[in-house]
Amino acid sequence: MESIQAIKQRFGIIGNDPKLNRAIEKAIQVAPTDISVLVTGESGVGKESIPKIIHQLSHRKHGKYIAVNCGAIPEGTIDSELFGHEKGSFTGATQTREGYFEVADGGTIFLDEVGELPLTTQVRLLRVLENGEFIKVGSSKVQKTNVRIVAATNVDMFEAIKKEKFREDLYYRLSTVDINIPPLRERKDDIHLLFRKFASDFAIKYKMPTIKLTDEAVEVLLKNRWNGNIRQLRNAAEQISVLEQNRTINANTLLSYLPNHGSNLPAVIKSSKSDGDFSSEREILYKVLFDMKSDLNDLKKLTMELMKNGNEGDVQKKNEGLIQKIYGDDEETDYEEAMEEAEILSLAEKSNNSRSEIEEDSPDNIKDKYHFAEEIEEEETLSLHDKELELIKKSLERHNGKRKLAAAELGISERTLYRKIKQYDL
């Protein structure tokens, strides 16, 4: 078994951090087996080195090694890329195609950004992990493959499982061994070492003297948070190597290339509010709807009370309180309109009562008590909607269609009358 130092030299890994050494040690130990491995860590920490170590130290080293960036393949084509497809299985499938699992038979597949896989693809991948079987898109034939899967992700997998974006059973199949690569900010002693290596590489590449940091610049380098990790450090080294004429870099010059310097501040904690918080918004909506239903029920009770006993004073007080509750203090215009509509209903009820009294005193109605009772029953079944419509029509006819005079007679605003005319299509 090769030593950790020999592996670092062979694969170009720089650093002596204990956590980094432990990750490499785990990779060396699992390489001779066919155990699935999940490599975790932030973006830019160098997770792609671990699958290469595992493949090269395994009995599959003479087989194919295929690295697949799952986040870069569109959702509609990823099944075809991984498992292949039959001719004519979808638009554009002009010929049969072998997928990565078929091509890499006997070798290793590295699934980078595995947390981005669609749920349907996760089901197919789980079948490969369990029994080495897969089916091409558009085919019914089960095929066998003998591949070793190494996956990597920068996603919090437990959070993804909680949000149902990643299957729990697939996670446990992939993470038989979990190898975590520490972020650069936890490898303080490796930061300057890496920067010097990058500076030397770029000096050779661009054929120019190597840049060097002053002591103050080194302090700035070590204090920076490096959210982009090794990728960000390499980028900064390349920019400085190309753009700076003076090859000795002081602290101020280095700071100009570090937009996120001073990030010794506490890291921003991601809000717990996310896609899954639609439930809280749904609860608020339900509450509003239930309140509206309650207000409607109260309004129905008031209307029934007005129709039955015509106790106008008490009903008016309750009506005002209810409308104030529904519309609030800030909606004065709506409140006034609601009160005006209540007055129309009151007028309609008065008209209904007076009409009943006149009919009772009429000599014609005494002829047939049964017929009289039938007419009363018929009058009582008339709706308030019809009464309101009747009053508005009569008022408009009396004033020859002049809305202003009709509104004044009805005791409502001209705007409310205009809205009623549109509502009843008068």
**CA distances (Å), 294 to each of 283, 289, 298, 299, 302, in order?**
16, 9, 6, 9, 13
For residue 296, count other CB atoms closer than 10 A to its CB. Answer: 11
Please state which architecture CATH assigns to domain 187-255. Orthogonal Bundle (1.10)
Q: Is the pTM of this model over 0.85?
A: no
Q: Which fold has domain 4-182?
A: Rossmann fold (3.40.50)
Residue-wise pLDDT tens for the chain (426 aa)?
A: 678 999 999 999 999 999 999 999 999 999 999 999 999 999 999 999 999 999 999 999 999 999 999 999 998 899 999 999 999 888 888 899 999 999 999 999 999 999 999 999 999 999 999 999 999 999 999 999 999 999 999 999 999 999 999 999 999 999 999 999 999 999 999 999 999 999 999 999 999 999 999 999 999 999 999 999 999 999 999 999 999 999 999 999 999 998 755 444 444 444 444 444 455 566 677 667 777 777 777 777 777 766 666 555 665 666 666 556 555 544 444 545 555 555 555 555 555 555 544 444 444 544 444 444 444 444 444 566 777 778 888 888 888 888 888 888 878 887 787 777 877 777
Q: 97 pairs with which residues across the strands? A: 85
Tokens coding 354: 């007076």
For residue 399, count other CB atoms closer than 10 A to its CB. Answer: 15
In a 3-state reduction of DSSP, which class is residue 194? helix
- What lies within 8 Å, CB to CB, of 411 at 6+ separation is 340, 343, 347
Q: Where are the domains of the chain?
A: 4-182, 187-255, 294-424
Show the 3-state SS of 306-340: HHHHCCHHHHHHHHHHHHHHHHCCCCHHHHHHHHH
Q: What is the CA radius of gyration of the chain?
A: 39
